[in-house]
Amino acid sequence: MGRLQDLFEKKKTGVLNVYFTAGFPEKKSTVEIMRVLQAEGVDIIELGMPYSDPLADGPVIQESSAVALKNGMSIAALFDQLKSFRNEIHIPVILMGYMNPVMQFGFEAFCKKAAEVGIDGLILPDLPPFEFEQSHGEIMKQHGLDFIFLVTPETSEERVRKLDQLSSGFLYAVSSSSTTGKEKNMDAVVSYIDRLNAYQLKNPILVGFGIKDKASFHLISGHANGGIIGSAFIHQLQKEVNYTAATQTFIRSILQ
């Protein structure tokens, strides 16, 4: 059983998944931030692979990607940084990124390398189910990687069921159709999650986009299995020079 399956076996609610961009704020900060996230009680780390044209991201994550690229971050450099992270990081870690850089690395080579260093799963928002079913899904499966699809409030029930079937690890519920880092109407988000719950899906549900503080995380945790925080954390890293302290402060503000 994979680390994600293990986690959700033991923990049904209040699962905290934190996103940050690899190579941000400094090229060498990636693993150190992961260490602090684990020590502070985060359940899953979602590591963003920076890209020049991140279509689904709002200004905060775009900016962090641009800085990471300026710092010289690349997929090859990231795998190098992750060479021995499993000696000290034991929580599930997934990679999030866009298809183009992954294609250039070589999709199969990428999956092989990710599995080798100890990555548990992938989120590639611009890989649609049609392409997944053609060949990509099989390759990920061969390398034991989970793949997490996104669903939105506009996704039909039939399609939610299909994406749930294709996903493993968890299902990523985007709180409303938007780019990352936008304000949300939380009442609408809650009723959307309750609707998803009524479908009795096979995967746990984590809610992302608009989860930014203790209040929104707790609200969502009462309905879904947990939440994903990205832009709010990146914003904290942008504000504070010391990224170790910024990470500590931010996670404590959510969990304590």
Partner 1 sequence: MNKTFTAPDLQGYYGPFGGAFIPEMLFQNVEHLQQSYQEIYNDPIFQRDFHALLKDYVGRPTPLFLAERLSEKYGSIIYLKREDLCHTGAHKINNTIGQILLAERLGKKRIIAETGAGQHGVATATVCALKGLECIVYMGEKDIDRQAPNVARMKMLGARVIPATSGSKTLKDATNEAIRDWINNPTDTHYIIGSVVGPHPYPDMVAKFQSVISHEMKAQLQEKTGNPLPNRVIACVGGGSNAAGAFYHFLDEPSVEIVAVEAAGHGITSGLSAATTQLGVPGILHGSKSIVMQTSDGQVVEPHSISAGLDYPGIGPMHAHLFSSGRGRFLSATDEQAMHAAFEVSKLEGIIPALETAHAFAVLGDLQLQKGEVSVICLSGRGDKDLSTYMNAMNEQ
Query: Is residue 74 within the footprint of partner 1 (CB under 8 A)?
Result: yes
- Asked if residue 205 lies in contact with residue 197, where contact means CB atoms within 8 angstroms, the answer is yes
Nearer CB in complex with partner 1: 2/58: 58
Give 213-222 contacts, CB < 8 A, sequence gap 24+: 213/253, 213/254, 214/253, 214/254, 214/255, 216/184, 216/186, 217/16, 217/254, 219/186, 219/190, 220/189, 220/190, 220/193, 221/13, 221/14, 221/15, 222/13
Q: Which of 40, 43, 46, 146 is catalytic?
A: 46
By CB under 8 A, residue 178 contacts partner 1? yes
For partner 1, give the closer residue by CB, 100 or 165.
Answer: 100
Q: Closest distance between partner 1 and the C-beta of residue 39, in Å?
A: 31
The size of the interface with partner 1 (CB under 8 A), counted in residues, is: 40
Residues 32-71, one symbol each (x = binds partner 1 by CB under 8 A, - = not), give: -------------------xxx-xx-xx--x---x--x--
Cβ neighbours of residue 81 closer than 8 Å, sequence gap 6 or more = 22, 28, 30, 31
> Which residues would be at the binding site for partner 1 (CB under 8 A)?
51-53, 55-56, 58-59, 62, 66, 69, 74-76, 98-105, 125-128, 130-131, 149-152, 154-155, 159, 163, 174, 177-179, 182
